[in-house]
Amino acid sequence: MPNIVAVGLQWGDEGKGKIVDFIASRADIVVRFQGGHNAGHTLVVGGKVFKLSLIPSGVIRPNLLSVIGNGVVIDPWVLLNEIETLEAMGISISERNLAIADCASLVLPLHSELDILRERIAGKAKIGTTGRGIGPAYEDKVGRRAIRICDLACESSISKRLDALLEHHSALRIGLGQERPDRQALFDGLAEIAPKVYRFAAPVWQLLHNARSSKKNILFEGAQGIFLDIDYGTYPFVTSSSTAASSAYAGTGTAPGALDRVLGICKAYSTRVGSGPFPTELNDEVGRRLADVGQERGTVTGRRRRCGWFDAAMVSQACRLSGAYAVALTKIDVLDGIEELKIGVGYKLDGEFREFLPPLAEEQARAIPVYESLPGWRESTADARNFADFPDNAIAYIRRIEKLIGCPIRILSNSPRRESTIVLEDLFSAS
């Protein structure tokens, strides 16, 4: 199997967890390389529903190593809670099947407090973050004041790094009219959980280098989607990390040339959580139907997702940005029974046709989608096990998307269940 990077091609929530779990059957290692517990992946296997936010989606596969890379910011309390939840569901977690980069940065309670406070102050101008503290944690990482996994090795290191961190946050909190963070509570909390988390610490860069030398198969799992990327997304309504496939290198310590292929993942329609532009959004009965049938609520926050038509112009751009060689199209069954379907093929902005969404937020907000219409289908696709079992109009819809985005669709998902996954072409072939 080639080493594959799986990334979302929309605004996240594309069904990456299920697809990663599916192709992980051919992998030895699954690695998360960016984001934090603001990402939620839901898997349905054997009647059980697994909800993950930090641990890679391959964790429920036996004999597979899950790795959290240095590009991820980690809330240690959330991590331990996730481990406890998985173990209660029969998934054993130990140093044998979970490794965490020793240089990964931590998310602390003061980060989520600051995140929520800023959103409240922003009012109607808020970004729509999950309030999990991911952005403030990345700020501290870049500002060289973060506490990292390796600091959990000894209390003196925790204390020293905490002083550097609080010098910044105390001034910030006072400026926002808040009390200083409680240093003793933070220190006691970190000292208590340190041995429980540090036991998973490893030099991930070396682990992955050795795995490649041993011809192990590695699957890199992205979080969120390309249009939440800090550079290429609908800025400023974006996440605080790079969601592009290229960030798998820096986020894991993997050398350039080690990643063979990029698999892009997108829904058969569009969704978005939180604020920000959404040209093909539907504020009508069809939009509500997509949300209800697709059970469109965030895994992490439970917030109802905004829904709209498939935006081929956006996904085409994402394929180019990520270098996708193939696409997995998910939730095609949610479109069953809709009489007429539309696909966004570009935008009108001030009377001019645009092939791609412009970077300026004010222009993104004014962009009017240009649509193609296709007939829908009445038949159910949820129980299909082969592409030939799909209604003719569903096949035509899929093939039209494929042509518009300029990338072959190799996997179809037609329900949340693991077995409802159809492979059109082998992802692992040499071609």
CB 217, CB 29: distance < 8 Å? yes
pLDDT at 129: 79
Residue 236: cis peptide before it, omega within 30 degrees of 0: yes
**Among 43-47, 135-139, 199-203, 245-249, the least confident range:** 43-47
Grouping H, G, I as helix, E, B as strand and the rest as coil, residue 395 is helix
Q: Which amino acid is at 330?
A: T
CB count within 10 Å of CB 355 equals 11
Catalytic residue (one of 37, 41, 111, 169) = 41
Residue 309, phi-psi category: left (phi > 0), alpha (psi -120 to 50), beta (remainder) = beta
Burial class from Cβ neighbours inside 10 Å (0-12, 13-18, 19+) for residue 49 reads exposed
Per-chain mean pLDDT for the chain? 92
The dihedral sign for the CA sequence 416, 95, 82, 249: negative
pLDDT tens for 212-259 read 999 999 999 999 999 999 999 999 999 999 999 999 999 999 988 888
Confidence of residue 123 (pLDDT cuts 50, 70, 90): confident
Compute the radius of gyration of the chain from its Cα atoms: 22
pLDDT at 301: 66
Q: How far apart are CA 100 and CA 204, in angstroms?
A: 7
Grouping H, G, I as helix, E, B as strand and the rest as coil, residue 90 is coil
pLDDT at 59: 86
CB 355, CB 346: distance < 8 Å? yes
CB 41, CB 51: distance < 8 Å? yes
H or E element, residue 213: helix 204-213
CB count within 10 Å of CB 167 equals 11
pTM of the predicted protein model: 0.92
Q: What residues does 67 pair with on adjacent strands? A: 31, 99
CB 346, CB 317: distance < 8 Å? no
Question: Which tokens belong to 323?
Answer: 């270098």
- Residue 41 catalytic? yes
Confidence of residue 406 (pLDDT cuts 50, 70, 90): very high
- Sequential DSSP letters for 53-79: SSS-GGGGSTT-EEEE-TTB-B-HHHH
Among candidates 167, 148, 168, which has minimal Cα distance to 158?
148
What value does the mean pLDDT take over residues 394-401?
A: 97
Among candidates 37, 178, 39, which has minimal Cα distance to 114?
178
pLDDT tens for 142-166 read 999 999 999 999 999 999 999 999 9
pLDDT at 60: 85
pLDDT tens for 42-101 read 777 777 888 888 998 888 888 899 999 999 999 999 999 999 999 999 999 999 999 999
pLDDT tens for 364-379 read 999 999 999 999 999 9
What value does the mean pLDDT take over residues 317-329?
A: 96
Q: How far apart are CA 397 and CA 390, in angstroms?
A: 11
Residues 6+ apart with CB under 8 A from 154: none
